[in-house]
Chain A
């Protein structure tokens, strides 16, 4: 069972290689053209912090797309709305005062006026978080119900959400504040989603961060080697040792690079923990669990999946419920990072998440895609964004470039799929031809044998007659 091929591995990871190449290219360009060091710890940290929402939303969008190329357009608007609601309840504001403040009729400048005598208290952080989770569950359940059970096409149902939540969020913010934004979040809330773990001053090497990084790297190496050992012990097909070591070494290099960058920049950003948690959980769901497998099959062939005893409707429902919950997390992360809930928060987030999936090789028709691919796609777009702005490319041109990359990714995906199919069909045909040739050879041999036998028999008979 020796079907390991380096060529296949390279083919499978072509996007990762492209990402690495593009990153190096921008590092050089930024340094040569503008003298900026893209490897500077603060630049690397901000690359990740800025794109945190893409990773989180991308995981949810991946699950939706797996069910058959379905997307959620309401993500960005719901980020805005969820942020506004969190702001509304966690910071003192006009709307909260209007609802819950104590108002009295008082004589001001000789006129009777309704005056606020006691402002409403903002809710405590746990309660606010519960409310946020609550609205996520509610919206996700309604959306999931409409799509899975009422059978409204996903893009229409979520287009409604896209329009409505932008309006609703803006309304809440306009009513709550004269500046149309809510800021000054309590630190008890924002510290859950932003800031650094075990923070140290800038420039000083952060020891806890280094330790965690080394631990993580060691864990990856251990898991990789252990998996291989188990496979061999049970007699299953396993990759060669040198490849496992090479793979582990590359992953360790990435982890250590980030660890050092974070350590120099004051510690691990809290948001990285959120990203890691989401990615690991969804990575396991898609690769290792039965429900993840169900997502793939519903998207791959809905009828086959139904006849295999899978509840397609439930899967669709879960996909959109899950998306709404991840959107809430993304809203909290974004609000905490910017320190304010704005009416323009979350604009085009849905498109970023979809683009990350598509560039990351998630099938636009459903049934295929991985978390790792999505991460590569999201990072690629993030690197292009940051790299081009550092080099000084105009925003409009960045958009054009991103559009082209998206298109190229899809074209590449489709053409490589076609060539793969062709190649494997050719291989199959070759097998068949080889088989037929073998059969022919066997037949020829049998024929020869028969001929010699006949010859012998003939000779014997001749001898017999001669003897007579």
Chain B
């Protein structure tokens, strides 16, 4: 039995109103690769932030025992001193600096005041060799691909004399070959004695690389599987990840007649605006009928938002090809303005970033996408605008002292309602709701679901993008499953279970339904 390097005992972390971690236990032995898996928002990243000191000692309950001693980390510097280094999902490299400069950022080599560049680059080359990167350490970061950048991140971590390496979704931006190379590097580092924790959504990679797998669900540790003794097939992991009960959290729709096809997208292909050879949507074909709620499920980075935004007046991506039919007629929408006029609405997942103007009032946000509705084209009828805003505040039961309230002062759920009001007032035929319930509390969620049902009742077509499985199953009439830029499955909500949806994603045959089906091993 190897020595236990890290032990996290009954960690509990609460944010205002939410218990993000509830008595989580994690035990990592020296020289193993330990995988943390769980759905989005299960608490994996929070746990790692607690470990690395981003959430300082005192802001959580429980003990961290590392290398035999209890640790109280107050910031990242503390944990790095002990050899715990975290590599975040978004690469933190500066494009216009060299590999060497980036590697020793904040850890500069030389005397106190003066950087020794010879030493810097010599050291950098040494670590680059360790990760198997042959490029010179004087190359600029922007000149190497994302795969190599990820290796630089690891080299940077090694240069900090890491003993425990935490990799948060290390392969999320890599292609197949680069991912495999990275995983092999992890195995190589393990053979040299490094201990690693990997967070990943890609279960095939987890089964490939991990010695132990800890499943986290809703802020609690569910189980820890050992590769040598337990079954760690993907279906087995999925069972742990989604094995929660679905309670009646979703209001039912009654007597909603589903009509003709309202919008159809055929062979839709979109490329990434910066990495122009990367497809973010690959030959996607979907349709939605009047009065229907269609769910699009996929993990983060599957290309769902990209699909929605590219349909909405090409507001994302380049090299868009494919046909878009509205009520059976092909249309070309070149700008959000044209999309709105054609009867589309895109309710963003990022309401603060690109949905609402936080410094403006509810009033102004409500009418933003349809100023024509309250003006004669040039002059705004302020009284009418006030009435409209008031109407929607009452209709959606937005909690606010007045419609003059700045949106920035509202709670998440109420902001979401204002965002919905804005697009409902634009009177679209098709609403694309991107993560409509992200970051809002359960009560507000229920109200948002009711609004979605009302929209369907009114004959609108609703596309609901979500990474919450119960939500997708509970709210949709039909579900598309998207993974790595492709639609990998389509099913009626009545036939959908959490297991067969997840199975579509990991590419396991769809017929292995049921929680205890003997999954066909990958």
Give Cα distance in the complex from A261 to B406, angstroms. Answer: 41
> Using a CB-CB cutoff of 8 Å, which residues 252-307 of chain A contact chain B?
288-291, 293, 296-297, 300-301, 303-307
CB of A363 closer than 8 Å to a CB of B = yes
Q: Which residue of A lies closest to B312 (CB)?
A: A307
Asked if A311 CB lies within 8 Å of chain B CBs, one says yes
Residue B227 CB within 8 A of the other chain: no
Cβ contacts A331-373/B at 8 Å (1 or 0 each): 0000000000000000000000000000000010001100000
Counting chain B CB atoms within 10 Å of each CB, the highest count among A296, A421, A428 belongs to: A428
Is A7 an interface residue when CB atoms closer than 8 A count as contact?
Answer: no
- A425 near B359 with CB under 8 A, answer no
Evaluate whether A290 and B377 lie within 8 angstroms (CB atoms) in the complex, with A304-B354, A424-B409 already known: yes
Contact B383 A231 (CB under 8 A): yes
Q: Which of B488-509 contact A (CB under 8 A)?
A: none
With A293-B380, A300-B359, A307-B348 already in contact, the answer to whether A424 and B354 are too (CB < 8 A) is no
Q: Give min CB distance, A428 to chain B, whole Å.
A: 7
Q: Tell me whether B356 is interfacial, beta carbon within 8 Å.
A: yes
Fill in one digit per residue for A200-244: 1 if any B CB lies within 8 Å of its CB, else 0.
000000000000000000000000000000110010110000000
The answer to the question of A104 belonging to the interface, with a C-beta cut-off of 8 Å to chain B, is no
B337 pairs with A236, CB closer than 8 A: no
Per the bound structure, the CA–CA distance linking A363 and B406 in Å amounts to 15
| Docked CA distance A265–B380 (Å) | 40
Q: How large is the interface on A (under 10, 10 to 19, 20 to 34, 35 or more residues)?
A: 20 to 34
Any chain B CB within 8 A of the CB of A3?
yes
A431 within 8 Å of B (CB atoms): yes
Set A3, A291, A306, A368: member contacting B359, Cβ < 8 A:
A368
Interface string of A419-461 (1 = CB under 8 A from B): 0010011011001000000000000000000000000000000
Please, how many residues of chain B have a CB less than 8 angstroms from a CB on the other chain? 43
Q: Which residue of B lies closest to A291 (CB)?
A: B378
Given the complex, which residues of B lie within 8 Å of A296, measured CB to CB?
Answer: 357, 360, 364
Closest to A292 in B: B380
Contacts of B369 in A (CB 8 A): 308-309
Q: Which residues of B contact A427 (CB under 8 A)?
A: 401
Please report the C-alpha to C-alpha distance between residue A231 and residue B339 in the assembled complex, in whole angstroms: 35
Q: Which residues of B contact A237 (CB under 8 A)?
A: 386
Minimum CB–CB distance from B417 to chain A (whole Å) comes to 14
B410 to chain A, nearest CB (A): 8
Bound CA–CA A191/B85 (angstroms): 75
A310 CA / B337 CA spacing, docked (Å): 7
A3-B401 contact in complex given A367-B357, A421-B408, C-beta closer than 8 Å: yes
State whether A300 touches B360 (Cβ < 8 A): yes
Min CB distance A244 to B, Å, is 15
In the complex, the chain B residue whose C-beta lies closest to that of A300 is B357
Contact A289–B315 (Cβ < 8 Å) = no
Q: Is B399 an interface residue (CB 8 A)?
A: yes
Query: Closest residue of chain B to A363, judged by CB?
Result: B359
| Complex contact B357–A297 (CB within 8 A) | yes
A367 to B357: give the CA distance in the assembly, Å. 9
Q: Is B355 an interface residue (CB 8 A)?
A: yes
- CB contact between B339 and one of A301, A305, A309, A368 (< 8 Å): that residue: A309
Would you list which residues of chain B between 373 and 429 have a CB under 8 Å from chain A?
375, 377-380, 382-383, 386-387, 399, 401-402, 405-406, 408-411, 422
Residue of A nearest to B337 (CB): A309
A237 to B390, CA, bound (A): 10
A425 and B341 CA atoms in complex are apart in Å by 37
Interchain CB contact under 8 A, B405 and A424: yes
Q: A306-B354, A428-B399 are in contact. List 5 more A-B contacts (CB 8 A).
A: A300-B358, A307-B312, A309-B369, A425-B409, A428-B410
Per CB-CB distance, the 5 closest pairs between chain A and chain B, nearest first, are A303-B354, A300-B357, A309-B337, A424-B409, A308-B369
